[in-house]
Amino acid sequence: MKKIILLTVLFYCTLFAHSQEDALSIVRASRDRIKSESVSTRSRMLIQDKNGTVTERLIDQYSKEGPNGNRAVIVFQQPASVRGVRFLTMENPNSSDDRWIFLPALGGEPARIAASDGSKSFQGTDFSNDDISSAHRSAGLDNHTLLREENLNNSPCYVIQSVPKDSSYQYSKMIQWIDKQTKVTMKVELYNKAGVLVKNLEILKLQEVQGRLAIMSTKMTTVADKTSTTLNVEMIKYDDPIPDSVFTRQFLKTGRP
């Protein structure tokens, strides 16, 4: 009897380990699905408050693979109140990203954003500082479990729960719906430390660009506040030459490569 119980336990432990491994492979495939040395975009950001009022911002974003991972810069172009705000994030393998922001109104040097400020709103939007760099978040930073398979908008998806290994991360877990065919993460539920759903991320539009299936519209909704931020991509280019000097604090300060 003891032998049967032991074999049963080993079977389920092995099954769970395979589930973990498969979930990690699925998440990695989703994060790595687009092969490109660099990406340049221009996007219109629509910020809707709880009263339904919408404000717009025009932003440019540049990202490029570096020796330690992805590097990305966001430059605010419009309106005048935020023009010249520049944000830099640099990925670090298996640890928190390095992030800096330059605010023209304050002048001086770019300010470093501490890891403890990851949960703070990114320039008054529904995205946090952590959310902005989450598309390039290393799959190895979380423990992944395949919960089930189900349809989302008539498309078969893997439903995967991701729990951060670092307990200081702002979310206790993320549940994501990854399209089985395209490998695109179509929806993400974000839960706070108390296990309460606080945000929903939805992909609203996909489009073929330069032979790649690009995400053209993304919406982040804050559940309790009933606010949202929608990011609509108006222009996207893959493998466009971007000088390495763009990904420096000097560029943040001057706006010139």
In sequence order, the 6+-apart residues with CB closer than 8 A to the CB of 212 are: 34, 36, 238
Quick check: is 137 in a domain? yes
Nearest in space to 153 (alpha carbons), one of 199, 204, 191:
204
CATH number at residue 209: 2.50.20.10
Quick check: is 165 in a domain? yes
Could you report the per-residue pLDDT of 85-101, keeping only the tens digit for each?
A: 999 998 876 667 789 99
pLDDT of residue 105: 86
Chain-centre distance of CA 66, in angstroms?
18
Quick check: is 166 in a domain? yes
Output the pTM of the full model: 0.86
- How far is the C-alpha of 144 from the C-alpha of 25, rounded, in Å? 9
Quick check: is 5 in a domain? no
pLDDT of residue 67: 80
Quick check: is 8 in a domain? no
In sequence order, the 6+-apart residues with CB closer than 8 A to the CB of 148 are: 159
pLDDT of residue 13: 42
Q: 165: domain range? A: 13-254
What is the β-pairing status of strands 142-152 and 111-112?
A: unpaired
Nearest in space to 136 (alpha carbons), one of 69, 36, 200:
69
Quick check: is 122 in a domain? yes
> b or e along 81-114 (b: 16 or more beta carbons within 10 Å of the residue's beta carbon)?
ebeebbbbbbbeeeebbbbbbbbeeeeeebeebe
Using 50 as the pLDDT threshold, list the residues of the chain that sit under it.
Answer: 2-3, 5-18
- How far is the C-alpha of 46 from the C-alpha of 195, rounded, in Å? 28
Quick check: is 213 in a domain? yes
How many structural domains is the chain composed of? Answer: 1
Nearest in space to 56 (alpha carbons), one of 254, 234, 216, 225:
234
pLDDT of residue 24: 95
Quick check: is 106 in a domain? yes
pLDDT of residue 167: 85
pLDDT of residue 125: 95
